[in-house]
Amino acid sequence: MRVFKIVAFLLVLSGLMLFTATAQAPLVRLAIPTTERALTPYTYNTGFPGWYLLMLVYDALMVTDLDGVPRPWLAESVRVSPDGTVWTLTLRPNIRWHDGQPFTSADVKFSYELYQRVTHPRFSGPLRGVTVETPDARTVVLRLSAPSPIFDLTLADTPIVPKHIWEKAPDPKTFESPVGTGPYKLVQIVPDQFYRLEANADYFAGKPAVQALVLPIIRDATATFTALQAGQIDAATRTLTPELVAQFQGRPDIKVLSGPGFVSTLLLFNNERAPFTDPRVRRVIAGAIDFNELVRTILLGLGTVGSPGFIHPSSPWYNQALQSYARLTPEQANRALDELGYKDTNGDGVRESSDGKPLRFELLTRSGDPVRIRAAELIAQAVKPLGIVFDVRALDSDTVAQRVWPDFDACKGRNYDLAIWGWSAPVMTQANVRGLFHSDCKLGTLNVVGYANKTLDGLLDRQAQTANREERKRLLDEIQKIVADDAPFLTLFYPDLIFAVRPAAYDGWAFLKGEGIIHKLSFVKR
Amino acid sequence: MKSVLSIIGLVILGALGGIAIFTPAPYDPHERVSAPFQPPSPQHWLGTNDIGQDIFSEVVHGTRTSLLVGVVAATLAILLGVVVGVTAGYAGRSVDTLLMRVVDVVLVVPFLPLMILLGAYLGPSLITVIAVIAALMWARPARVIRSQVLVLKNLAYVEAAHAIGGSFWHLLRRHIIPAIVPLAMAQLVTVASSAILIESSLAFLGLGDPVQKSWGTVLYYAQARGAFLTGAWVWWVLPPGALITLSVLGFALVGYALERRSNPRLRHH
């Protein structure tokens, strides 16, 4: 018995020594909420975490560092012509695909032209009008039809697939091949149960930090965090909700990692429907809402108060000089509404416009999202003392989307008074202000409020074609100021991204600003 | 024994009805009265919810919603069931066949998926929920009442009344309605308890109106805001859960007693 104990101790000790020697975690179990099908560029399902997991198997020419700034990756150098239309990249030497074939510029040309030929919802748009030349096996020349300030983000976003495999694919949209250049090889998929990834020992950009990465699919949030507490998983892509933070922080075996999130929560005004056509009305409503209290109550303080210019204060594009909306006391707000001609003429406690219509509106929000329902309720309470009624209507998310953004096409108009809405992180990362605010719905693809300001349109067009970073920053500052004055919608808050992990299994997590800990650099030794 | 059970049932329903009518809540359930996520305290007996509303007041006001849905939906369902049942049973022949096939269809409709679909399609509101429940719950009472009418129609005194020229309305008023009222009452009670359960389930799944205070919506927020992970379930989940159970139990006990007295099949056993 004693001998057994000593042997066991030695075994454990040698295991620990091996562990510290290679410093590679043997196994990390990371729960994901839904299937990502075959995890290829055309079959993954979700933007988060799907794309980030895809990029463990595949690489792009660049990668965003922890501040969100693109750096060369498959490429070792990236040069831009002075007019911003010609991008010349030199590829790193001696990179091999998971099947041992060499990676060359032909793979880049093939991949980019594949996305141009076979439409992909994410990768095709930014590559429109781009031509690819390959003077030699290590050089790629990309010619853009117009200069773009965010083309480096495209280079960091677009996965490169192996030509020798994908050129034989009968239909890329359903083709299943696990071969990439990435730090992990996809070795097993059990549909609807788990994915198993293993370290690519020959990875060109450092050693993968984990030997085996298992991704079990756990659909339910409560089940996910129960599994984490019980030690059945080591981390989850699902973010922790604010009310759970205190409990998880109190446990010695669990570490809570958090930072700013670039997902936004907004109050949309339909700018084409009276009285929200008038920026003065929109500003009065903004002045009645206590944004700090929203963050304190709904997010328990774990979030950032919305900037009136939409851009997150942690973004490099944020305008530091921006003032928050002027807070109005109930008296000031009531006086402002009186002066604008909205009076309660029939004494029912609700103001009427000059044509006798009561200021009573429907505030849409999606029913599955308690944080947004609560935000809607708090806003309705805030405007009630002003004699304005917001009737909160919680509808299922497809119905809300269809009324706010029919078929995801801003040109199809809109059918709502007010809505709680949100944009995902890429809108913030790219500072896609032209999409958000341009009055031409073909350019303002995300302008779901129907906002129009001709002066602003000119600035939006200019920044979209300015490759120079400083110049673009100056234009974005000006744009944010105009938007803050016009208040076409109100940015309420950006919830923090909070993750819980078991550091005993793996502790190499790195927080990518605005996007969280699930990304390539968290799984590669830097 | 049986009467003791039905008295217990009546007491439960009476107490819940009292809560629903007088709503002895210390706070306005829509008002934020404290910090969010507070555990129970002398000020807030069941603590506060995710935006600082008093959970005890929410549960008290939820009683009103839940009982309202139960009683109104059940009444509508029974009225429809009585009309269809009496028509089918009295008219007979092709009318009977047609109506009973409709009943068959409604009976075999998979209940919860349809509720989810209709709830999503029509949008969540109390009226939708009541209408949908009523539209799906009338079939069983219709069937039971039809069979009772078939029996009545062939009773000697009813046939006699018919033979001496009694009109349909006369027979209905004097013989049929009095005979089916107890049966309908028993069915009403059964349907009401199902309706309360269904309303709570829909609200819990987020398919009800999340702005309305009901037992189901209290449970919805408890689940959505981590009550099962933090231990808050003791004061956030158990009380509305217990009230749902109590109300169903109350209705079941009363319904059981009523059915014993009114259902001809059960009366002699």
Residue B226 to residue A370, Cβ atoms within 8 A: no
Distance from CA of B191 to the nearest CA of A (A): 27
Chain A residues with at least one Cβ partner in B under 8 Å: 222, 225-226, 229, 241, 243-244, 247, 297-298, 300, 367-368, 370, 373-374, 377-378, 381, 392-396, 399
Closest-approach residue (CA) in chain B for A228: B229
CATH code for the domain in which residue B240 is found: 1.10.3720.10
Q: What is the pTM of this model?
A: 0.85
pLDDT digits over B117-176, tens only?
776 677 677 888 888 889 889 999 999 999 989 988 888 888 888 888 888 888 888 888
Tell whether the model's pLDDT for residue B211 goes beyond 90: no
Give one DSSP letter per residue of A424-477, joined into a string: -HHHHHTT-HHHHH-SSTTT-TT-TT----HHHHHHHHHHHT---HHHHHHHHH
Distance of residue A467 Cα from the nearest chain B Cα, in angstroms = 45
Set of chain A residues whose Cβ sits within 8 Å of the Cβ of B36:
243, 297, 300
Tell me how close the Cα of A509 comes to any Cα of chain B, in angstroms.
24
Tell me the residue type at B176: I
The pLDDT score that the predictor gives to residue B266 is 57
**Interface membership of B211 toward A (CB under 8 Å):** yes
Taking alpha carbons only, the member of A502, A453, A461, A462 closest to residue A482 is: A453
Is B5 contained in some domain? no
> Binning pLDDT at 50, 70 and 90, where does residue B179 land?
confident
Q: Do A377 and B37 make contact, defined as CB atoms within 8 angstroms?
A: no
Is B54 inside any structural domain? yes
Q: Is a pLDDT exceeding 60 seen at residue A8?
A: no
| Facing A370 at nearest CB: one of B120, B207, B224 | B224
Residue B265 — very low, low, confident or very high, per pLDDT cuts 50/70/90? Answer: low
φ, ψ for residue A204, nearest 5 deg: -75, -25
Q: Do B230 and A297 touch (CB under 8 A)?
A: no
Instruction: Check if the beta carbon of residue A243 is closer than 8 Å to that of residue B49.
Output: no
Q: Is the pLDDT of residue A102 over 60?
A: yes
Select from A302, A374, A399, A498 the residue whose CB has the most chain B CBs within 10 Å, as the one to mutate to test that interface. Answer: A374
pLDDT of residue A7: 47
Report d(CA B139, CA A123) in Å as an integer: 54
Residue B223: inside a domain: yes
Whether B213 shows a pLDDT value over 70: the answer reads yes
pLDDT score recorded for residue B263: 61
**Residue B161 domain boundaries:** 37-268
> Residue A394 is nearest to which of B52, B211, B223, comparing CB atoms?
B211
Cα-flanking dihedrals φ and ψ of residue B52, to 5°? 85, 20
- Give contacts of B224 with chain A, Cβ < 8 Å: 370
Nearest CA-CA distance, residue B221 and chain A, Å: 7
Residue A226 with chain B: CB contacts under 8 Å = 229
With CB atoms and an 8 Å threshold, state whether B120 touches A396. yes
- The whole-angstrom separation of Cα A249 and Cα B203 is 32
For residue B32, the number of C-alpha atoms closer than 13 Å in the C-beta half-sphere is: 19
Shortest CA gap A496–chain B (Å): 16
Residue B20 lies in a domain: no
- Of the pLDDT bands very low, low, confident and very high (cuts 50, 70, 90), residue B183 is confident
What is the share, in percent, of chain B residues with pLDDT greater than 70? 95
pLDDT class of A18 with cuts at 50, 70, 90: very low
Spell out which residues of chain B touch residue A374, defining contact as CB-CB under 8 Å. Answer: 50-51
CB-nearest partner of B229 from A225, A373, A399: A225
* Secondary structure (DSSP) of A146-159: S--TTHHHHHHH--
Of B36, B124, B229, the CB nearest to A226: B229
pLDDT of residue B118: 75
For the cut 80, the answer to whether the pLDDT of residue A264 exceeds it is yes
Q: pLDDT band for position B202 (50/70/90)?
A: confident
**Nearest alpha carbon to residue A379 among A421, A408, A332, A415:** A421
- Taking an 8 Å cut-off on Cβ atoms, the answer to whether A222 and B52 are in contact is no
State the pLDDT confidence band at A17, using cuts at 50, 70 and 90: very low
B14 lies in a domain?
A: no
**A17 vs A13: CA distance, rounded Å:** 6
What is the C-alpha separation between A11 and A24, in angstroms, rounded?
18
Is A243 within 8 Å of B223 when comparing Cβ atoms? Answer: no
Q: Residue A303: is its pLDDT beyond 50?
A: yes
Q: Do A374 and B51 touch (CB under 8 A)?
A: yes
B219, B237 in Cβ contact below 8 A?
yes
**pLDDT at residue A423 above 70?**
yes
Pairing assessment for the beta strands A139-143 and A86-91 based on DSSP bridges? antiparallel
Residue B7 CA from chain centroid, whole number: 19
Size of interface A-B (CB pairs under 8 A): 61
Distance of alpha carbon A207 from alpha carbon A288, whole angstroms: 54
Is B206 in CB contact (< 8 Å) with chain A?
yes
Task: Name every chain B residue with its beta carbon within 8 A of the beta carbon of A220.
Answer: none
In chain A, what residues touch B229 (CB-CB under 8 Å)?
222, 225-226, 229, 244, 247
Q: Can you spell out the DSSP letters for A385-434?
A: GGT-EEEEEEE-HHHHHHHHSGGG-GGG----SEEEE---HHHHHTT-HH
DSSP for residue A239: P
Q: Is the pLDDT of residue A176 over 90?
A: yes
- Which residue in this structure is represented by tokens 């003032």? A323
Instruction: For an interface test with A, give the residue of B217, B229, B236, B237 to mutate (most A CBs within 10 A).
Output: B229
pLDDT at B73 over 50: yes
Residue A116 reports pLDDT greater than 60: yes
Distance, CA of A248 to CA of A228 (rounded, Å):
10
- B50–A243: do the CB atoms touch at under 8 Å? yes
Q: How many CA atoms lie within 13 A of A230 on its CB side?
A: 8
A305 CA: distance to closest CA in chain B (Å): 17
**B207 belongs to a structural domain:** yes
What's the pLDDT score for residue B259? 77
DSSP chain B: -HHHHHHHHHHHHHHHHHHHHH---SS-TTS--S-TTPPP-SSSTT-B-TTS-BHHHHHHHHHHHHHHHHHHHHHHHHHHHHHHHHHHHHH-HHHHHHHHHHHHHHHHS-HHHHHHHHHHHH-S-HHHHHHHHHHHHSHHHHHHHHHHHHHHHTSHHHHHHHHTT--HHHHIIIIIHHHHHHHHHHHHHHHHHHHHHHHHHHHHTT-S-TTS--HHHHHHHHHHTTHHHHSTHHHHTHHHHHHHHHHHHHHHHHHHHHHHHH-HHHHT-
Which pair of tokens denotes residue A350? 């609700």
Is residue B58 less than 8 Å (CB to CB) from chain A? no
Q: Could A367 and B206 be called an inter-chain contact, meaning their C-beta atoms sit closer than 8 Å?
A: yes
Selection from A244, A325, A217 nearest residue A499 by Cα? A244
- Residues in B closer than 8 angstroms to A250, CB to CB, are none
Is the residue at B17 inside a domain? no
pLDDT at B256: 83
Query: What Cα–Cα distance (Å) separates residue A155 from each residue in A61, A160, A204, A375, B35?
Result: 6, 10, 18, 37, 47
Q: What is the mean pLDDT of residues B208-224?
A: 90
The answer to whether A334 touches A526, Cβ cutoff 8 Å, is no
Average pLDDT, chain B: 88
Residue B141 lies in a domain: yes
Tell me the HSE value of B16 on the side-chain side, using a 13 A CA sphere: 29
Average pLDDT across chain A, whole number: 93
Rounded Cα distance between A3 and A450, Å, is: 78
Tell me how close the Cα of B31 comes to any Cα of chain A, in angstroms: 9
Q: Is B51 on the interface with A (CB under 8 A)?
A: yes
> Inter-chain contact B207–A367, Cβ cutoff 8 Å?
yes
Per-residue pLDDT, averaged over A373-393, amounts to: 94
What percent of chain A shows pLDDT beyond 70?
Answer: 96
* Option in B124, B223, B225 nearest A394 (CB): B124
Check: CB of residue B45 under 8 Å from CB of residue B39: no
User: Which residue from A minimizes the CA distance to B207?
Assistant: A367
- B:141-200 residues touching chain A, CB 8 A cutoff: none
From chain B, the residues in CB contact with A238 under 8 A are none
C-alpha–C-alpha distance, residues B86 and B176, integer Å:
8
Number of structural domains in chain B: 1
pLDDT, residue A1, reads 43
Alpha-carbon distance of A295 to A197, in angstroms, equals 38
